[in-house]
Amino acid sequence: MRRMAVLAACGAIMAAQGLAEIQESTPKRSVPDIGPLGAVPEPPDNRITEAKVALGKLLFFDKRLSGDGQFSCADCHAPNKGWGTGEGISKGYPGTRHWRNSQTVLNGAYYPKLFWGGESTSLESQADSAITGNLAGNGDPEMIEERLAQIPEYVRMFKESFGDERPKYPHVLKAIATFERAVPVSKNVSFDRYRKGEKGAISERAKRGMEIFRGKANCIQCHNGPMITDFSFHNTGIPKNELFEKDPHAQIALRFQHYSRGVPEPEYRKADRDLGLYYTTQLPADRGRFRTPSLRELRYTAPYMHNGVFEVLEEVIDFYDRGGGDDPNKSPLLKPLNLSDEEKEALLEFLDSLSGDEILVDPPKLPDYAVMPEKK
């Protein structure tokens, strides 16, 4: 009996040690709770003013900022399509195709890094990349300045906004960024009202979904804080979008991205998927890692993921319920969740409470060119 007691005690110790090892191998992160959005952050060198917002709105819709004068910011970030394109993979400059989903610019002011791979660190630099990028605007800054200088209303507005005697390209970027900070920002969000004390702002099922989000589903590990994102990068094993098997322009865009970002030639030749953060860091561990998107305004911003592979939120929930996809670099944070149908429905209702009023902006009437008077 004593020997059996000793063996049992040893077994208990070994089990405890095994449990400790399992717990040690399971990622633990202290994360902030989800909460309402605060005030829009403003950089000290580009404060929001009414004049800059008005100028930025015109520029956001003006196709003359692109190389061929046929492509505007609003073509990839249309207000009536959730400030995206509504397509899995974004359109590109005429004659090309993009290789990623066009992320919404809703609440873009709150991101410390933009684009799926975090390549830009401000709305100003994001605008520059979009305007001048080969697969996006393909615009030339000097040509853009010349075009704007031939439009009297723009000359007046740049002088009012920045004191310019003639429009300057860096101020084009600042005006567009100001418009994006001031206008496409969440408004009247049920969840925010609930967190500020309005207990009836969301349904009981949504409250149940919030607890699942925080607990069993563990979504809060990556989706936390006021923006409901950790602003970090994770590989979740997202499946490929079949478009890359069918569209030669999409294949060209992806291979061009590989080549231009310094991917070794053997991989460039067989490029079949986006490498995400790896393009910036060149670290093997960063292959397939993408910025955690905010879960705000999901009602308007389908399809989802960096390649738009999921059309509806039910597909997203099912994907994470399975523990994500299959990838050697997949984050250890992802585990099968075994959610019931009722739990999935509650989670879906909570996610819907993160969307507010739809923010729509009608395309403005753009100012016209004018012939410069002949100098005498």
Return the pLDDT at 136: 94
Among the listed residues 108, 296, 302, the one whose alpha carbon sits nearest the alpha carbon of residue 195? 296
Dihedrals phi, psi of 170, to nearest 5 degrees? -55, -30
Q: How far is CA 198 from CA 151, 194, 228, 358, 368, in A?
A: 49, 5, 20, 21, 48
What residue has token string 């409250």? 207
Residue at 283 is within a domain: no
Residue at 281 is within a domain: no
Q: How many domains are contained in the chain?
A: 2
Contact 113/277 with Cβ under 8 angstroms?
Answer: no
Q: How far is CA 208 from CA 50, 202, 220, 295, 343, in A?
A: 42, 10, 14, 17, 8
User: Residue 295 class from Cβ within 10 Å (0-12 exposed, 13-18 middle, 19+ buried)?
Assistant: buried
What residue has token string 């100098």? 375
What digits encode the pLDDT tens for the residues 43-83? 999 999 999 999 999 999 999 999 999 999 999 999 999 99
Say if residue 97 is in the same domain as residue 149. yes
Say if residue 205 is in the same domain as residue 295. yes
Averaged over 318-346, what is the pLDDT?
97
Among the listed residues 359, 364, 373, the one whose alpha carbon sits nearest the alpha carbon of residue 106? 359
CATH code, domain carrying 220:
1.10.760.10
Return the pLDDT at 313: 98
What digits encode the pLDDT tens for the residues 116-141? 999 999 999 999 999 999 999 999 99
- Looking at residue 296, its amino acid is R
Say if residue 215 is in the same domain as residue 333. yes
Say if residue 166 is in the same domain as residue 204. no
Say if residue 214 is in the same domain as residue 174. no
Dihedrals phi, psi of 320, to nearest 5 degrees? -75, -25
Cβ-Cβ contacts under 8 Å for 270 (sequence gap 6 or more): none
Kindly state the DSSP code that residue 290 receives in the 8-state scheme.
Answer: E
Residue at 1 is within a domain: no
Say if residue 200 is in the same domain as residue 295. yes
Residue at 36 is within a domain: no
Residue at 194 is within a domain: yes
Biggest distance spanned by C-alpha atoms of the chain = 115
Say if residue 124 is in the same domain as residue 225. no
Asked whether residue 40 carries a pLDDT value surpassing 70, the answer given is yes
Q: Where in the sequence is the domain holding 92, given as residue range(s)?
A: 50-182
Say if residue 170 is in the same domain as residue 195. no
- Residue with the bigger pLDDT between 354 and 267: it is 354
Q: Which two tokens stand for residue 105?
A: 């610019």
- Residues linked to residue 84 through DSSP beta bridges, in sequence order: 78
pLDDT averaged over the chain?
91
Say if residue 61 is in the same domain as residue 175. yes
Say if residue 170 is in the same domain as residue 198. no
- Alpha carbon 207 to chain centroid, angstroms: 26
Say if residue 212 is in the same domain as residue 166. no
Q: How many Cα atoms within 13 Å fall on the side-chain side of residue 326?
A: 0
Residue at 273 is within a domain: no
User: Residue 24 class from Cβ within 10 Å (0-12 exposed, 13-18 middle, 19+ buried)?
Assistant: exposed
Dihedrals phi, psi of 233, to nearest 5 degrees? -125, 135
The backbone region for 115, taken as left when phi is positive above 0, alpha when psi lies in -120 to 50, beta otherwise, is left
Residue at 156 is within a domain: yes
What digits encode the pLDDT tens for the residues 214-264? 999 999 999 999 999 999 999 999 999 998 889 999 999 999 999 999 998
Write down the pTM of the prediction: 0.90
Say if residue 61 is in the same domain as residue 128. yes
Residue at 230 is within a domain: yes
